[in-house]
Structures are given as C-alpha cells and as structure tokens.
Amino acid sequence: MTNSDYVATLNGPILMTAPHTTELTREDGSTRSVESDLTDILPILAAEINTLMGANSASYMYWATPRTSTSADLDGGNLLNDAEQDASAFHKALHKFAYNNFDKPLLHLDLHGK
C-alpha cells in the first residue's frame, strides 16, 4: 500500500512502524531529526521475519513525505483528538492492519534510530 504520505505493507500480524523517517516541522519552526535509515531497514527486517515465520507474517509502515506539526499525523499519529483520527493516514492504516489480521494475536513495534 502506498499513498502520497506513507509506504506500507499490512499483510501480517507483526507491524513495524517508523514514524520519524521524514522531516517534521514543529509549530515553533524547529525540526525533528530524520531517522532515514529505517526506510531501508524495515523492508529487509520484514522479509527476514517472513522467512523465519512464514509468508505474510510481517507488516511495516513508514512516512514518505515531510509533515508539519499542524498535520493530523503529528509524530505518527500520537496525541490525536477524536476529530483528527478520521483524517489521520496512520490511524486508518492501524485499523486496516487490525482488520486484515482480526483472527491473530497482534504485535506492534515502533522503531527509532539515529
């Protein structure tokens, strides 16, 4: 699954997210550092998990475009109020992940790096 904001594969019950893969400009004008190596690591890690645990075991999602702190997806969807949840691509993807794997135990790993 790809849209203009993020890259995701939501096939398996193990979800790995990397919310800091693009620049985030905060309301005060400062920027959060980018953890860009995770865009390379997530697909490789998912492939390894799929090899060890069977096809379609791992899912992943990371941001593809820069965001501002006024967007509904601030820091990967953290701190969303009820109205913002409907507009959040991250929040919608979490629901799709859960729906796709409704009959399995779920694990969400939120990855960070430097």
Residuewise pLDDT in 10s, the chain (114 residues): 445 677 888 889 999 988 777 777 767 777 777 777 888 889 999 999 999 999 999 999 887 766 555 555 554 555 677 777 777 777 888 889 999 999 999 999 988 876
pLDDT at 99: 93
Residue range of the domain that includes 37: 6-110
pLDDT at 90: 78
pLDDT at 105: 95
Residue 1 lies in a domain: no
Residue 74 lies in a domain: yes
Q: And the tokens for 92?
A: 């919608």
Residue 22 lies in a domain: yes
Alpha helices for 1-114 (secondary structure H): 38-53, 82-87, 89-100
Q: Based on the structure, what is the number of domains in the chain?
A: 1
Q: 35-71 in b/e burial notation, b at 16+ Cβ within 10 A?
A: beebbebbeebbeebbeeeeeebbbbbbbeeebeeeb
Residue 106 lies in a domain: yes
Q: And the tokens for 53?
A: 């645990």
The span from the CA of 113 to the CA of 68, in Å, is 20
